[in-house]
Amino acid sequence: MNIPAITPFGEPSDSISMLVEKFLQEFNTLESSFSEKNFLLYDEKSQSYYMPCRLISKEVVDKVDFNATIDGSEEDELYKLNRDITENESAYSTMVSDAILGRPFEDIVVEYDKSYSPMMPLKIYGGQHRVRAIQSAFNMKPDTYHGFRVYFGLNKEQKVEIATINNTSIAVSNDLLDRMKEQLLGSELRDFCQKVGLLEEGQDFADKKDFFIPTVRVARTFVVNYWKGREANRGDFHTPYVCKSGGVDDEYLTVRAKIVWDEKNFLLAGEKFRTLHKTQYDKVMARKQDRYAQFASKAISLSVVASWSFAAGMYFKDIDYQNSLFLLTNSLGTSEDPLNAKALSEARLKGIDPDTYRGLGTRTNSDELGRMLEVFIVLVEKATDKKISKNLANAAIQSYEAKKATHVAAKSLQKL
């Protein structure tokens, strides 16, 4: 079968040519139906081959796979490159209405791949909402042709790059981009979160902010700060770190290379943090007053997860102190949440914090991270009653500001 290939780099490999031939045997493109040529084009950026073509609805509705994955293994099938379908959004509803009226959709990006889920060989990398709309309108409009870009023989890096650029074009969340990039690095972060219970078995990270399921950014922030905390001197001035989102985080990559994923205390810290998060969520959602989602998800707010995990790592060699941190979920009253989110929201330094300050654990600047870390330090090292209260939170703010002033003064004196 003669398929013209438009590329300055010569003809495609035999394996690519074979995939193209199998695709054209399985699907009748509009171009083939009218004796036009099917062109195989070359994407120089990703160094991959693709065919622009038009496919009829009735041929594709049962052969599209929304669970495209990075390596195609059956056991990894749940860990999708795509974001979740949001069928309640008005834009999606409009797509369905348009499809019912016979509107053709363009530039749906797929890979022809039968190495897993062979009954659904068109793995979707871009345009999943359009494809779902086509499926919804199928009974009324089975003969509409839609524009596809069909890729062949992609490797892991190409899959992620193509999925990323096609999801970026529809303003996808940074959290989904993080999830795709993390899959390229490997499954260690996801495996760790499943092992300690932050994710259920077979569950992937949230692809946008979620009040219970952590995002990749939350998980990265946890592991980075735990391992940075292990290297920190307890008496020094410290600022936890919040990982960047939507791009490469060099600090995470540096720390990730040193992580011992099955280290006993690291796993224990993960399990205790999961207990903190679940207890916080359950306690807040079970009560009638102050039942706010932001209170329920307080443990996985970035400043809290960064500070708690840094403390967990810093107290690695001080087991009694570490246990005090881990036992924050014990001995709680019926309506008490372990982090006392309301008390944190009301804490502030009079004369310093502006009226717009929303309390501890709501922002991610260096002062907020330092203050939140000081809450756990004061709780562990100073407090007689091992519970967070408004008085403890205010004391922690004052303690942090005093330490910061001493630290800044010491740095200034070093310059003399």
What span, in angstroms and rounded, lies between the C-alpha atoms of 416 and 412? Answer: 7
Per-residue pLDDT tens digits for 254-286: 999 999 999 999 999 999 999 999 999 999 999
Tokens of 251: 């600090």
Share above pLDDT 70 across residues of the chain, in percent, rounded to a whole number: 91
Q: Which residues of the chain have pLDDT under 70?
A: 1-10, 35, 71-91, 167-172
Residue 207, pLDDT score: 87
Per-residue pLDDT tens digits for 16-32: 999 999 999 999 999 98
**β-strand pairing of 5-6 with 40-43:** parallel
Distances (CA, A) of 235 to 229, 314, 367: 12, 10, 18
Distances (CA, A) of 173 to 168, 181, 207: 8, 13, 7
Are the C-beta atoms of residues 201 and 194 closer than 8 Å to each other? yes
DSSP state at residue 112:
E
* pTM attached to this predicted model: 0.70
